[in-house]
Amino acid sequence: MAALFPHRRQSAPLPPVGYRGVSGGASAAPTSWQPQRQAKARAVKVAIFSESYLPYLNGVSISIRILHEELTRRGYEVWIYAPRFKGYHDPYPTVRRFPSFTTPFEPDYPIGWLFAPHLWREFRAQQFDVVHTHTPFFIGMAGASWARRLRIPLVSTYHTLYEEYLHYVPALVPRGAVRRLLRWHLKRYYESVDAVMTPSNIGAEVLRKYGVRKPITPIRNPVLPFPEVSKTEARARLGIPEDVWMLLYVGRMAPEKNVSVLLKAMPHIVRGCANARLWLVGPGPALDELKAQAEAMGLSAWVYFTGPVPRDEVSLYLLAADLFVFPSVTESQGLVLDEAQAAGLPCIVANGGGAPEAVDYGQTGMVVEPAPEAFVEAVLYLTRHPEAREALRQKAIRKRELLSVPSVVDRIVAVYQSAIALRAQGESARVS
């Protein structure tokens, strides 16, 4: 089968309308690279494949939702392929769900079956212009395979530092063997695409270490606009007293997020700042364990667990807080750090993974060692130096413009255009 892009050979900017590629048997292939004279214009069609998507909330699913909505606003036709969540009904008509199953290790995270002939038939009929995968496993593999079969330009975003999550592998499975298999697979997968995006430089460095030679473009994920709500109003809506010094963490409650570092820091923080309180916002497999740890440490009066909250309510927590604290060292980007800074929050970030890239040290936040005493020192310094805190806040809030949805999506579209041009050149050479 073929899906050719003859009129895009000169790397022209990706237009808001596209060309309907040719698919079918060998007899359906065009005899020349001249565009059809009266081809009917249509919207550019993008297919997105990901294991992570709504209703599951994490940085990947949120960034996909933002991309989907912005491309649709621009006139693109966007289809999303993701695993089925039992009982969830999609608000968008162009979302397609793979049959899925769950595992005891992550029961809230379904895994899609690759065998879905009805989805393949529909995909083949749609004649997509670009395929964009966001995960390199099961569903991402299906997207890559289908794109290759139809010769559709293929791009992929490497969101996650997967080696940092090997502790989820059952203890009976040799970690060394899994690590080697993972590295082999990731190199093979990302070498098979036309272009790669990562939300951080560390993601690009990891792929280069694996041996990936394809073009890699670091593009941070976008940040949605915040509601026009003051700190006072946000606290009133959430029931948070005005006189509280509010520390905030937003993210999964999971072992790799290192949240226990914050619990160990709190008694010392409260000794230096009596009205300090910590809000831990988000769900996760370690939530009950962390609650039990906080209770055993006598932190019930100082630490509040919200569990899962609606997305718009997360914005209220960010607007209500005084400082954002982030102990994870396993992030590829840490989207919530950009969101926190866009809300005007100085950030205290553990030195590890891609999270430090999100913070301009001494400009929008502080980078410290992933240890309780380091967080204690940084928090107490900022509580005692309001002028330093205000300087960080003023510079942090500029992230709203730097990571606005239109500017980030412009860069993603440029990668689409580059992949289309690259594939067109390859097809031209193959045909000639």
Q: What is the pTM of this model?
A: 0.78
Do residue 371 and residue 415 come from a single domain? no
H or E segment to which residue 365 belongs: strand 365-368
- What is the rounded CA–CA span in Å between residue 2 and residue 150? 5
Query: For the residues 147-162, what does the mean pLDDT come to?
Result: 96
Do residue 118 and residue 65 come from a single domain? yes
CB-based contacts of 224, cutoff 8 Å, min separation 6? 66, 339, 405
In this prediction, what percent of the chain has a pLDDT beyond 70?
89
195 pLDDT exceeds 80?
yes
Average pLDDT of the residues of the chain = 88
Per-residue pLDDT reduced to its tens digit, 295-318: 999 999 999 999 999 988 999 999
Q: Given this model, what pLDDT does residue 362 score?
A: 83
357 pLDDT exceeds 60?
yes
Q: Given this model, what pLDDT does residue 428 score?
A: 53
Side chain identity, residue 7: H
Q: Given this model, what pLDDT does residue 189 score?
A: 98
Q: Given this model, what pLDDT does residue 1 score?
A: 36
Residue 366 β-bridge partners: 348
- What is the rounded CA–CA span in Å between residue 339 and residue 342? 5
Do residue 411 and residue 347 come from a single domain? no
Q: Given this model, what pLDDT does residue 107 score?
A: 75
Q: Given this model, what pLDDT does residue 120 score?
A: 97
Give 114 or 266, the one with higher predicted confidence: 266
Do residue 392 and residue 426 come from a single domain? no
What domain range includes position 252? 231-402
Q: How confident is the model at residue 40 (pLDDT cuts 50, 70, 90)?
A: low
142 pLDDT exceeds 90?
yes
Going by their DSSP bridges, the two strands 195-198 and 154-157 should be labelled as parallel
Per-residue pLDDT reduced to its tens digit, 71-113: 999 999 999 999 999 889 998 999 999 999 887 777 777 888 8
Given a contact cutoff of 8 angstroms between Cβ atoms, the answer to whether 84 and 56 are in contact is: no
Do residue 25 and residue 74 come from a single domain? yes
Do residue 87 and residue 44 come from a single domain? yes
Domain count, the chain: 2
Q: Given this model, what pLDDT does residue 113 score?
A: 83
Q: Read off the tokens for 129.
A: 């212009």
Q: Read off the tokens for 368.
A: 């410290």
Q: Given this model, what pLDDT does residue 431 score?
A: 54
**Omega of the bond prior to 372 within 30 degrees of 0, cis?**
no
- Nearest Cα residue to 409 out of 61, 67, 59: 67
Do residue 260 and residue 381 come from a single domain? yes
In a domain, 1, yes or no: no
Q: How confident is the model at residue 424 (pLDDT cuts 50, 70, 90)?
A: confident
Q: Given this model, what pLDDT does residue 14 score?
A: 39
Do residue 196 and residue 244 come from a single domain? no
Q: Read off the tokens for 393.
A: 């806040």
